[in-house]
Amino acid sequence: MTDLDAFITGLPKAELHLHIEGSLEPELMFALAKRNGVEIPYASVEEVRAAYAFTRLQDFLDIYYAGAMVLRTRQDFHDMAMAYFERAASDGVVHAELMFDPQTHTDRGIAFAEVIEGLLSAMAEAEAKHGLTSRLILSFLRHLSEEAAFETLAMAEPWLDRIAAVGLDSSELGHPPVKFAQVFAAARAKGLKLTAHAGEEGPPEYVYQALDLLKVDRIDHGNRALEDEGLTRRLAKLGMTLTVCPLSNLKLCVIDDIARHPIDAMLQGGLKATINSDDPAYFGGYIADNYRAVAAARGLSREDLVTLARNSFTGSFLPAEAIEGHLAAIEAFVAGHG
Ligand code: HPA
Ligand code: ZN
């Protein structure tokens, strides 16, 4: 391990943009398919990995939803989340905010309780075992209707005290944030935080809508906001957190080369960017791989890496005292790596 690798791994960090279904590695997919008697259209783990060649978001989503079909019981959701937490802990993640897509499961007859109870038990185990805290973000699928999102929010009602926020994911183009303005307002009225994918494939207009119509607390991705100088200035002034996912951007052709990733332009423009893995089983790396990729490709300094890690806590949905504690831990780590 190089000094930089050790620095990246050791740096205390939060992961704010992680779809738990996107952490399902092919090996576990096969094991769950066997356990549940579910057919999958691949003969081997190698064949699955070979299918992970995407030119746009929808190519990925088709495979990601098919992969999720092997998940049936709360034990499955527990095992998937635990596998993620083990990887995250070994990458120096001390807090994670997990998105999950209930509709992907409830629409094929899996009870909401099975999904969330499996995730919650893994979250408790990760905290007990690694001191890794976590929160849940219930994400609405934007290719479905707002009415369906309302039904999902109603299903979540008994667990609302264990859900930090709602999110918005899936096929961005053609499904602008405005489609979900009412359900986001309802979620806000219930005391939930709000985040939405915007400006991954969609235009800057979708980022404006996420701000003005959804009134989000964070923007997931946000890359295309950079096409609009006024919007970039506004995001910087607001201190709006962007949950950026470099290897995802590369795999989904949001950028054509990691050497042209705009992470340093974001930081120089005063944007509160963070580094995240999005769907690590599909995009070729966990959070430390993402830090390493942009550090190497864009020549990020240690100071930049520390800024990114600090942003991951100040942009989290943790209470202020917990954030202060994590920032102090970063200071202590940096002091020990002078
Ligand atoms: N973008 C949109 N929807 C998603 C993603 C993503 O990267 N991952 C899982 N759902
Ligand atoms: Zn995402």
Taking only the tens place, the pLDDT of each residue in 172-226 is: 999 999 999 999 999 999 999 999 999 999 999 999 999 999 999 999 999 999 9
Q: What percent of the chain has pLDDT over 70?
A: 100
Atom of ligand 1 nearest to the CA of 172: 2
61 Cα to the center of ligand 1, angstroms: 7
According to DSSP, the β-strands at 241-244 and 218-221 are parallel
Supply the pLDDT for residue 2. Answer: 84
Residue 279 CB–ligand 1 contact under 6 Å: yes
Q: What structural domains does the chain harbor?
A: 3-335 (3.20.20.140)
Question: Strand pairing partners for 242?
Answer: 219, 273
pLDDT tens string 86-110: 999 999 999 999 999 999 999 999 9
Residue 142 CB–ligand 1 contact under 6 Å: no
CB atoms within 10 A of CB 325: 14
Supply the pLDDT for residue 1. Answer: 78
Q: How far is CA 6 from CA 131, 144, 193, 336, in A?
A: 20, 43, 34, 12
> Is 146 annotated as catalytic?
no
Is residue 74 within 8 A of residue 118, CB to CB? The reply is yes
| Whether pLDDT at 338 is above 70 | no
Is residue 219 within 8 A of residue 195, CB to CB? The reply is yes
Query: Stretch 118-143: mean pLDDT, rounded?
Result: 99
| Whether pLDDT at 234 is above 70 | yes
Which amino acid does the sequence have at 286? Y
Mean pLDDT of the chain: 98
Query: What residues does the ion ligand 2 have nearby, CB within 5 Å?
Result: 278
Residue 278 CB–ligand 1 contact under 6 Å: yes
Which amino acid does the sequence have at 311? N
Query: Stretch 49-53: mean pLDDT, rounded?
Result: 96
| Whether pLDDT at 246 is above 90 | yes
